[in-house]
Structure 1
Amino acid sequence: MGAVWLAHDRLLDRDVAIKQVLTTEGLDEAEANEIRERILHEGRVAAKLSHDHAIAVYDVVLEAGEPWLVMEHLPSRNVARALALVERLPEIEVAQIGAQVADALATAHAVGIVHRDIKPGNILVADRGDIVGMAKLSDFGISRGAGDLTDEPDGVITGTPAYLPPEVARGMKPTEASDVFSFGATLYTMLEGQPPFGLDEDTDETVRRAAMAQIIPPERSGVLTQTLLHMMEPAPQRRPTMAEARDEILTAAFGPGTGPQIIGIPLRTEDGTIPAWAARNSAAGLRSPHSAPLPRPYRAPAGATAGTPPRRFNAQPAQASNAPLAIAVGLLIGLIIIIAVIVAMI
């Protein structure tokens, strides 16, 4: 749709990103107007959302009849590029990205916005500066707001094939439940190193697998496995809401009530450092500006069923510290018995 430029707002003295529509010269008036309207639509939709984990849209400027979208500038790399570097991301880091972006999407859904194109390339992670490690959702270019009119004909598929929900792959209109599936597929890709329908250069084959809900069973998703499968239920009505998905991610990885320790805070490893893939040059491995330790992940005990509530276990039995006293008492009782036997014999 256009090129994105780094610019400086001289009035407010801040860097911004500006999306420029590539020239509409040579297009007929109807096509040119459609492209201009897309940019204006993206601005209108994204401006309804204000969230720490979503790229902010500041303004739409008309210059010589062409719209320029003025947005928050986040020096970053997207998750798709990160996966090209490291193949898979650690479970604990995916859980943080998942909870944070799910919170932004839950807010978007609450104001009637359906993103419709959630994928690793649309999740940015700041790679320098004071907020290095901060994850943000971007690109609302094909989003729809509540009450939006659309001239898309029935049967047109909207989105990226590798992350399509079954109902969208079959030609239905995307809904909030569709976003939940696409986000689950995105988290799956971060953990497994490939999308849930596999890697295939044949787009039609990918769409066919999506329509049939032919998900490759996850093998590396650990404590997030059940949450991902819930988010990627073939039937939309069986999926959680985005807010419920956020809470399931937090509970599975960190325990209930841990949202304030994860949301609104840059990513960090379990020991509080900046993930190497998320930072440029010397920032990698340094202590995060928000280096409070992460909540200890839950691990179910051996033999626990999927429905067993998570519990923490101490490394040693609670009564271990009283062992010396118990031994001393036992010796004393034994000595008393011996003395009693000797006295009886006399």
Structure 2
Amino acid sequence: MIDRPRPIVGPDYLVAGRYRLQSKLGGGGMGAVWLAHDRLLDRDVAIKQVLSTAGLDEAEARKVRDHIVHEGRVAAKLSHEHAIAVYDVVLEAGEPWLVIEHLPSRSVARALGLVNALPVIEVAQIGAQVADALAAAHTVGIVHRDIKPGNILVADRGPGVGMAKLSDFGISRNVTEASDEPDGMITGTPAYLPPEVARGAQPTAASDVFSLGATLYTAIEGQPPFGMDDDSDAVVERAAMAQINPPTRSGVLTRVLLHMMEPAPQRRPSMAQAREEILAAAFGPGAADNILGAPVRTEDGTIPAWAARNSAAGLRSPRSGPLPRRAQPPQPVNPAPAPAQQMIGRGGSGQSPSPTVAVTIGLLIGLVIIIVILMMVM
């Protein structure tokens, strides 16, 4: 074992002579996440501190350091408006720190803790936007491998309020790289595992499609597709058997979600195809320009209450507007009644004749009476 002095990390701590820590934002699989200020570029950033490697032997410590540096290099390949940007990877006291975009936000997981389930129309927007980011990631060979509600953020204040972004490429890797994981090791969150990964296969782009489908399912249904269970082994077993509870609230997205969660990876759409299927099902053709790169909105074009803090809820973004609607099939029009039906009150149904018809009949009767009187006089 190698004992290394452990730095006292807290507010005002300066990382790499550049990033001044301000407050802790939370924790992740690799360590704590801090709000920091970049003194060089005068902007706020989020910075992820790796768990200390003190007490590990050099080989294990190097593996942890290499992992976080690798995370930064992989994520830095992706530049997309619906993905959290990676700015820098630095070493401080021998430990790697990942510097990323700071997005004041609420995760979809947090939103579900507030409202239990989200409207289909809003989930469709989140799904299309995240699918767009993942399609770009897959194009450069990156597989995320841990898509879940906690890794989808929606800006809850500021000029970008309502924008959805995918975060945390912490266990992603380039598909061209050899995996250093032992065979049969399961990587990811059990509730969103595709069957092949639950059975020990290596994740692929098709695995990301399943996990995104499972995440969107959860946002709509209020629970994951394999149900709720504190026993993670039981969840993994159901995932391996593809025992998906049929969706009941997904409406127009039902067919798309089931396509994305096909048990066989080869039967799933690509991520780009999934994006197009979501857009077409929820908004009709040609909706991409109104959905991608725009904030998540309610059906009437306002920022959802769950996605905004305080007074921002219900406001219209300058980039927003009413959502496009799917084309509805033409409704049958009741034909106008035939003239004969009008004159006889629709077949003696008890309806009175129209005023025009009544006047005409009255004139005819009056004329007949006059003729009869003249004949009697003569």
Q: What's the TM-score once normalised by structure 2's chain length?
A: 0.80
User: SS state of the match for residue 126, structure 2?
Assistant: helix
* Counterpart residue number, 2:110: 81
Among 234, 257, 271, the residue aligned to 1:228: 257
Query: Is 1:168 equivalent to 2:200 in the alignment?
Result: no
1:32-111 → structure 2 map (5 Å cutoff): 32-111=61-140
Tell me, in whole angstroms, the C-alpha distance in 1 between the residues paired with 2:330 and 2:38: 54
Tell me, in whole angstroms, the C-alpha distance in 2 between the residues paired with 1:163 and 1:146: 20
Tell me, in whole angstroms, the C-alpha distance in 1 between the residues paired with 2:120 and 2:222: 12
Among 141, 147, 163, the residue aligned to 2:170: 141
Tell me, in whole angstroms, the C-alpha distance in 2 between the residues paired with 1:278 and 1:144: 30
Q: Is the 8 A contact 2:300 2:321 kept in 1?
A: no
Q: Is the 8 A contact 1:200 1:206 kept in 2?
A: yes
Tell me, in whole angstroms, the C-alpha distance in 2 between the residues paired with 1:200 and 1:20: 31
Task: Name the aligned partner's letter for residue 132 of structure 1.
Answer: V
Q: Is the 8 A contact 2:33 2:49 kept in 1?
A: yes
Residue 313 of structure 1, CA deviation: 2.9
Query: Is 1:255 equivalent to 2:284 in the alignment?
Result: yes
1:286-305 → structure 2 map (5 Å cutoff): 286-298=315-327
Tell me, in whole angstroms, the C-alpha distance in 2 between the residues paired with 1:210 and 1:146: 23
Tell me, in whole angstroms, the C-alpha distance in 2 between the residues paired with 1:127 and 1:313: 39
User: SS state of the match for residue 128, structure 2?
Assistant: helix
RMSD: 2.5
**Greater relative contact order structure (CA < 8 Å, 6+ sep):** 1
Unaligned runs of 5+ in 2: 1-29, 343-355, 365-378
Percent pairwise identity = 78
* Counterpart residue number, 1:184: 213
- Structure 1 pair 40–233 and aligned structure 2 pair: CA distance change class (3 A): same
Task: Name the aligned partner's letter for residue 313 of structure 1.
Answer: P
Residue 24 of structure 1, CA deviation: 1.4
Residue 58 of structure 1, CA deviation: 0.7
Q: Is the 8 A contact 2:302 2:317 kept in 1?
A: yes
Q: Is the 8 A contact 1:165 1:181 kept in 2?
A: yes
* Counterpart residue number, 2:158: 129
Tell me, in whole angstroms, the C-alpha distance in 1 between the residues paired with 2:335 and 2:274: 39
* Counterpart residue number, 2:8: none
Query: Is 1:14 equivalent to 2:31 in the alignment?
Result: no
Task: Name the aligned partner's letter for residue 26 of structure 1.
Answer: G
Tell me, in whole angstroms, the C-alpha distance in 1 between the residues paired with 2:313 and 2:304: 6
Task: Name the aligned partner's letter for residue 99 of structure 1.
Answer: A
Cα deviation code 1:11-53 (max 9, x no counterpart): 2121111111122111221221111111101101100000000
Q: Is the 8 A contact 1:113 1:143 kept in 2?
A: yes
Greater shift in the superposed pair: 27-36 or 255-264: 27-36
Among 302, 313, 322, the residue aligned to 2:330: 313
Query: Is 1:157 equivalent to 2:174 in the alignment?
Result: no
* Counterpart residue number, 1:342: none
Q: Is the 8 A contact 1:130 1:289 kept in 2?
A: no
Query: Is 1:119 equivalent to 2:148 in the alignment?
Result: yes
Query: Is 1:4 equivalent to 2:33 in the alignment?
Result: yes
The count of residues paired between Structure 1 and Structure 2 equals 321
* Counterpart residue number, 2:375: none
Tell me, in whole angstroms, the C-alpha distance in 2 between the residues paired with 1:194 and 1:96: 19
- Structure 1 pair 318–11 and aligned structure 2 pair: CA distance change class (3 A): farther
Cα deviation code 1:45-95 (max 9, x no counterpart): 100000000000011111222111110000001110100000000010000
Query: Is 1:267 equivalent to 2:296 in the alignment?
Result: yes
Among 200, 203, 225, the residue aligned to 1:196: 225
- Give structure 1 regions of 4+ aligned residues with deviation exceeding 6 angstroms: none
Cα deviation code 1:172-221 (max 9, x no counterpart): 11100000000000000000000000000111110110000000000000
Tell me, in whole angstroms, the C-alpha distance in 1 between the residues paired with 2:262 and 2:162: 30
Residue 268 of structure 1, CA deviation: 0.8
Residue 286 of structure 1, CA deviation: 1.6
Tell me, in whole angstroms, the C-alpha distance in 2 between the residues paired with 1:145 and 1:244: 21
Tell me, in whole angstroms, the C-alpha distance in 2 between the residues paired with 1:266 and 1:133: 4
Larger radius of gyration: 2
Tell me, in whole angstroms, the C-alpha distance in 1 between the residues paired with 2:192 and 2:42: 39
Task: Name the aligned partner's letter for residue 32 of structure 2.
Answer: A
Task: Name the aligned partner's letter for residue 120 of structure 1.
Answer: P
Tell me, in whole angstroms, the C-alpha distance in 2 between the residues paired with 1:66 and 1:207: 33
Residue 318 of structure 1, CA deviation: 10
Tell me, in whole angstroms, the C-alpha distance in 2 between the residues paired with 1:147 and 1:229: 29
Q: Is the 8 A contact 1:95 1:253 kept in 2?
A: yes
Tell me, in whole angstroms, the C-alpha distance in 2 between the residues paired with 1:66 and 1:231: 39
Task: Name the aligned partner's letter for residue 79 of structure 2.
Answer: S
Q: Is the 8 A contact 1:79 1:124 kept in 2?
A: yes
Greater shift in the superposed pair: 18-27 or 152-161: 18-27
Among 199, 202, 211, the residue aligned to 2:240: 211
Tell me, in whole angstroms, the C-alpha distance in 2 between the residues paired with 1:242 and 1:60: 28
* Counterpart residue number, 2:19: none
Cα deviation code 1:234-261 (max 9, x no counterpart): 0000000000000000000000121111
Residue 146 of structure 1, CA deviation: 3.1
